[in-house]
Structure formats: structure tokens, C-alpha cells
Amino acid sequence: MATTPSTPPVAQVAHHGYFADLYTFDWTHLYLRVPLICSISIALCLVTGVLVGHPSAGLIAGGGAMTVGFGINQRIADSRLWPMIAATIVMFLSTVAGMIVGHRGLTLLAAAAAWSFIYGLLTARAAGISWVGQQAVVTLLVTSAFPADLYHAFIRGLLILLGGGLQILVTSLFLKLLPELKNNLLQLPYAGGVSVNHLLHIEEPDRIDRRTLLTQLRAIPKALPRLSQATSFGYALRLAITVTLAAEVYRRAGVQSGYWIPMTALLVQKPAFFETLTRALLRIGGTLVGAVLSTFFLVHIHPDPIYLAILAAAFAFCAYATNTVNYGLFTLCLTSYIVFLLSLNQLPGALIAHRRAVCTITGGLIALAIHLDALRRHKEQPAAT
């Protein structure tokens, strides 16, 4: 039986290997069919919003569809739909919470710390589960830029729910995932080969009744992998400190789009320092290039709203397609998507791009600063003889 080679100790890895992600483009991971399908719902939301005279509503729903579309690459209970469904629900809840908390008070810091700490703990779970937790934190930070009362927060949350639901519906129809969802609901397999069915000694999942199904759902926590206290707790604590500090900078900056500061700090912060460093460099570089290109286009072309909607959907497709090719290239496409998306709301494209670039650099530097202790420990580690 073939064995997988173990990961070499940090001290034995060549230094140039730390930065391989900066110049590595894995074009074998470039897929077009699924990104094209996921882009349909985004285009529907944006174009419909423009045509009915409410581009901002289409923008919000399209943003929900965009985020949920990334869930197609995740798995929960061996299903591609469960991450999308779970993300839609937590985004709705985090939208309401984020808008009520707002970005001007200390409650933002408490919420950001709690959300990011929970997400850090979830990284020890299955990848699909931790991805859902990440979307909850990102949504909280983004929607904190739009403080409102419960009613308006609920309305915005419903638009997110609408966009996410449309994404799930379109993706399910084109990829024929609904039968798969039913099968996964009944069988509920989990990582490591452990399933609720096995725990309950159910041999014929197709014949289970409603009571048995409810019992299965309650038993889900038993099938989830246990947390590794040595790694997950420390990472969760550092992540909470990073995001809280970045959120305080965002709060004091007084800029609405300053939520990109804690959001960047959250997304680039990784357990290992060199992972954080390369991810920060790629995100900053991709953001700067994307901001320059999209701004140049907007300044010289001046497209009308319907073309902005189409351009945003086109760059959403590019972001989906390059997600696993190279993180810097993905960030470039994502930044262009965001600039065109927010331009639909009559915000100056050049201002959007400039603020995103500055805030991304700030958030990346904060994440690196919090992680300098890991670099110090790495330098103090004795080299292998």
C-alpha cells in the first residue's frame, strides 16, 4: 500500500519554498462550467435590480449569491449543498447582528472578537464547516458599515437570503444536486468515515421515519471530529486578537468602507507565519493591480448601470474560475468585481479602489504584526543536523 510522505520539519524546508505560492499558477485547477453556473444568479440579481430601478437591492442580493457560490467547492456531510445552505442562514443572522452592532461603538469589538474566536475553533472541524464560520465573520464585519434598526437590518438580511437562495436553486438545477441533497440528509457521512447512521446502527437510510431522522440530526455533534486544543485554541485566540485590533482601527478610522481592514486581517491570518506572509502579499498585490485596472476602465469608459452589472458578473465568474489557480490572481478578479459592484450604487470607482487598497494593506500589516512572535520562534528553532 502506497504511503503519503510526511511533511518535512520547518527547519528543513528551503526558504524559497515559503514563497512558492507567490509565483505558482496551477492552471490545471481552472474550471469554467461550475463558475459559469454560479455567475448566472449574480447576473440575475444585478441586472434585475438595475431594470426595476433598485440597483442597491440587486447589489445586496448579488453579494449574497456571490458568497454562497463559493460554497459549491466545500463539503459538509459529503454534500455540496449543505455548505451553501448553512452559509445562507448564517449570513442572514450575521447581517442582522452586524447592522444592529454598527461600526461606531465598542459592541463591534465584542462581536468581532466572539465571531472570529468561534471561527478559529471551527477550523479544527471539517473544511466546509470552518468555511461557513468564516462567512459569518466576514458578513458581520461588512454589514457593520451600515448601522440600522432591527427592521432595516431584517430587510437587508432578507435580500442576502434571497440572493443565497437563488444561488442554491440555480446551482441545484444545473448540477442536479437535489437528489444528492436528499441522499446526504439521510446518510449524513462525516470525515474520518464516521457517520450518524453508523452510530445509530441504521442500515437502510431510505426507510427511516421522521422520528429516526430527528434522532440522527441530534446526533450530528457526536460524528464531528474533536477539537485539537493545542492548535485550534491558540489559533482562535490569535485570530480574535487580530480581528479585534483591526476592528478598532476600522472603528477609529471613521470610514464606512474601513471594514476591509478587519476583513483582510481575518482572511490572511493563518496558523503558520509564512502562510500569513504569502497570503498577505498576494492579497495586497492582487488588490492593488485589480484596483488600478478597474479604476482605469471606469475613468475612461464611463459605462452605464446595465454594463456595470454585466462587468461585475463577468469578474465574479473570473474570481470563481481562478479561486484555486492563484490567490493573487483571484484577489485581482475579486477586487475588480467589488469595484464594479459598488459603482452600481453610484459610488465613485476611483474612491472605492483607493480605499480598498489602503484598507487591505492596513489589514495585512496588522495580521503580520500579530504573527511576529511566530517568526521569532521559527528563527530560534535549532536547525536539523
Per-residue pLDDT tens for 302-348?
A: 778 898 899 999 999 999 999 989 988 999 999 889 888 888 876 66
Q: Binning pLDDT at 50, 70 and 90, where does residue 375 land?
A: low
- pLDDT surpasses 80 at 177: no
| Residue 104 neighbours by CB under 8 Å, 6+ apart | 147, 251
* pLDDT (0 to 100) of residue 374: 59
Helical residues (DSSP H) of the chain, grouped into ranges:
20-23, 33-51, 55-69, 81-101, 107-122, 127-143, 150-175, 178-187, 196-200, 210-218, 220-223, 234-253, 260-268, 273-301, 305-322, 327-343, 349-370, 372-380
Q: Cell digits for 72?
A: 459549491
For residues 44-65, average pLDDT: 94
297 pLDDT above the threshold of 90: no
- Whether 336 is in a domain gets the answer yes
**pLDDT tens-place string over residues 179-232:** 666 565 555 444 434 444 444 444 444 445 556 555 555 555 544 444 455 567
pLDDT at 205: 46
Residue 279 placed within a domain: yes
Domain carrying residue 148: 28-190+225-380
pLDDT exceeds cutoff 80 at 383: no
* Cell numbers representing residue 265 in the block: 486581517
Give the pLDDT band of residue 44 (cuts 50, 70, 90): very high
d(CA 329, CA 320): 11
236 within domain boundaries: yes
Predicted confidence at residue 295, as pLDDT, reads 77
Mean of pLDDT over the chain: 80
> What's the mean pLDDT in 43-49?
95
Percent over 90 (pLDDT), the chain: 42
DSSP 8-class letter at 344 = T
Q: Rounded CA gap, 133 and 129, in Å?
A: 6
Residue 308 counted as domain residue? yes
Predicted pLDDT of residue 25: 83
Q: How far apart are CA 238 and CA 55, in angstroms?
A: 39
- The predicted pLDDT at position 70 comes to 94
Q: Which pLDDT score, from 0 to 100, does residue 5 have?
A: 45
Q: What is the pLDDT of residues 237-274, one digit of tens each?
A: 989 999 999 999 999 887 778 899 999 999 888 877 77
Number of structural domains the chain divides into: 1
Prediction pTM value: 0.80
| Cα–Cα distance measured from residue 68 to residue 165, given in angstroms and rounded to the nearest whole number | 9
Q: Which pLDDT value is given to residue 56?
A: 92
Q: Is the predicted pLDDT of residue 81 greater than 80, yes or no?
A: yes
Which of 123, 121, 101 has the alpha carbon at shortest distance from 112? 101
The answer to whether 58 and 309 have CB atoms below 8 angstroms apart is yes
Q: Looking at the domain assignment, is residue 201 inside a domain?
A: no
The per-residue pLDDT for range 127-175, each reduced to its tens digit, is 889 999 999 999 999 999 999 999 999 999 999 999 999 999 999 998 8
Whether 232 and 121 have beta carbons less than 8 Å apart is answered as: yes
Instruction: Find the mean pLDDT for residues 81-107.
Output: 93
Asked if the structure places residue 52 within a domain, the reply is yes
pLDDT for the residue 180: 65
